[in-house]
Structure 1
Amino acid sequence: MRYAQGGGLSHERRQFREGIRMMAAERFAAGEPSSAIAKELRVSVRSIQRWRRLWDRGGPRALQSAGSASLPRLREAQFAQLEAELAKGPVAHGWPNQRWTLARVKTVIGRRFHKSYTLQGARKLLLRHGFSCQVPARRAVERDEDQVTGWVKETWPQVET
């Protein structure tokens, strides 16, 4: 199953979904119909039917979350180190410009932690930790925001007319 956020569910989201399944289990025990449970919990009837079959076989314990599909390759402490490395910039790691690409991030992970990631794996790792894939606007180092604002307010209206 694919998730929009690219990388599965967070621990909090997994716990939230498990809570919904446990509420359904309480209603199974009360003998409520699947359609009423689905409407109340705002899930599909098919999910309720699947959960009911699991509950019939193993009780509420069968509806508990199984946890992550796999352990993350980089621990939180290692990811913090990776963040520090990324903050240094690509030039500090030997690339000619200041643009991070997935291939470069993947290479830094391999060099620093001796872990192998695919490009998509590196992308999902970064997305899970709040990074975006947007390219920042290029701004001159010498740019003075006060002067730009003054120019837009004073000079630009005269140029327009």
Structure 2
Amino acid sequence: MTDPRRLSGEAQEDLRRRVVAAVGSGRSQAEVAAVFGVSSRSVSRWMKALRDNGDKGLASGKRGRRPEEQKALTVRQQARLKRAVLGKFPDQLALPGLVWTRGQVGELVCRWFGIRLSRVTIGKYLRGWGLSPQKPVRRAYEQDPGAVRCWLEETYPAISARARREGGAVLWLDQTGLRSDNAVGASWAPVGRTPVIGKPGVRFGANAMAAISNKGELYFTVYHGSLTTEIMTGFLDRLTRHLDRRIHLVADRHPVHRSRAVRDWITERADRIELHFLPGYSPELNPVELLNGDTKHHVAQTNPGDKHELATEARTHLRRRQNQPDRVKAFFGKEEVRYAAE
């Protein structure tokens, strides 16, 4: 097949005119493409250019980059642009959106420096600065950065040190909701034919609560309905009876976790368990969130017929993870929770 881009400008124009003339004589575009050794897409594009702009649409234009694309970014321009990408969101610079894309960066380059760069060139600059496209972590506006810093630098290190002195265990606790209509992810299928997966007509759900340690331990319960103090204290009772060490339990500020009934229950067993709260609006600091995502992903691949089958699938998966301590330890490998790995 001929690659028109490798021909001279005059040869490209001649090829285009011969191709459209052949189509104009009554041959199909596919037949002409085969005869001249070009792609059907090229033939279609040249015919459109003829319809839109007449004979001028087939003329060979000036080759090479446009004048505004000739210049490369200077070191100073690159430094300014990199600071913007790392230190601000697009909407803070009057650009639409919350995440940086090559298009957003290109618009900023054009606005600041009057230079238009291709997406490929912008991608090379971004990677040259040590950046890569990544899915952002969502963080609540209400989060207090000072409280997070205090937790990472002072509060948690003190909890961990106490647990080591006491020969105790640090466990992280969280709960999650599981739904029958969770997204199942992508599936391979013929192009243009979206696969159809059967599902129950009625939506239903179940909930799971789990506690994990950076040693690979996993304890859980699966229940229906909202989290109550009875469910919470029942789980903690099984936890304290199972472990022969004092437990330092790290949890978020869920109302049930902070309820008077739970506080009184823990106070009566202060020699066995102590409850610590993460900073508000900081789920990314809890490694159990990664276990929750893992459980939801598994359940989404099944097809439970009712809430009891859904709960059974969750229990089966969590029991499997109980027997895979290395997989549980791996939940502490993400950057946001790596502080809790030791």
The TM-score range, normalised by the shorter chain, is 0.3 to 0.5
Higher relative contact order (CA 8 A, sep 6+): 1
Normalized against structure 1, the TM-score is what? 0.45
More helix, by proportion:
1
TM-score, structure 2 length as denominator?
0.23
Whose radius of gyration is greater, 1 or 2?
Answer: 2
